[in-house]
Amino acid sequence: MFNKLFTPKAPKQVTPEAGDTYYFNFPSDSSKQPTGPLELTGAVNRVVSEIANLRAVSATGDALRSASIIKADIEKARINIQAATTEHQTYQAKARAGLIKPEAIAPYLAATDIAHAKFHSLNAELNVRQDSDNAAAALASLLEKVR
């Protein structure tokens, strides 16, 4: 019964001719369509500022060591932290047992703190290097798209 009331028909095929311009206007897009002439100066300025920012970030990593060397140093620092922490805990246990004075732990605590500080500085250096590498890759991609 429904087939007798409504029989769907395919839309007519539209074949564009040379020089014709078709504008597709959907009701939901009416608020999104520009009303005046398009200006590219804003977009060009944004691209220029993005290129300048990426070049600045990329330049910060030029003087740094490579990421693989920094990662190797981080692993060495991690081993140093474990050794310093183990030694500190050993002497701390001896101090609790009364075998040594509590003031004798201070050099081992300082060595642990120095190892942690070195580890954190290497991680910060690696972060700067990775940010610089990512900015260089983004800059190359952006310049490739612009050209």
User: Is 104 within a domain?
Assistant: yes
In this structure, is residue 147 part of a structural domain? yes
pLDDT value at 46 more than 80: yes
In-domain check, residue 57 = no
Residue 25, pLDDT above cutoff 70: no
Report if residue 133 sits inside a domain.
Answer: yes
Q: How many domains does the chain have?
A: 1
> The domain containing residue 142 runs over which residues?
65-147
For 72-113, write each residue's pLDDT tens digit: 999 999 999 999 999 999 999 999 999 999 899 999 999 999
In a domain, 124, yes or no: yes
89 within domain boundaries: yes
Give me the percent of the chain exceeding a pLDDT of 70: 86
Full-model pTM: 0.64
DSSP readout, the chain? -HHHH----PPPPP-PPTT-------GGGTTTS-SS----HHHHHHHHHHHHHHHHHHHHTTTSPPHHHHHHHHHHHHHHHHHHHHHHHHHHHHHHHTSS-GGGGHHHHHHHHHHHHHHHHHHHHHHHHHHHHHHHHHHHHHHHHH-
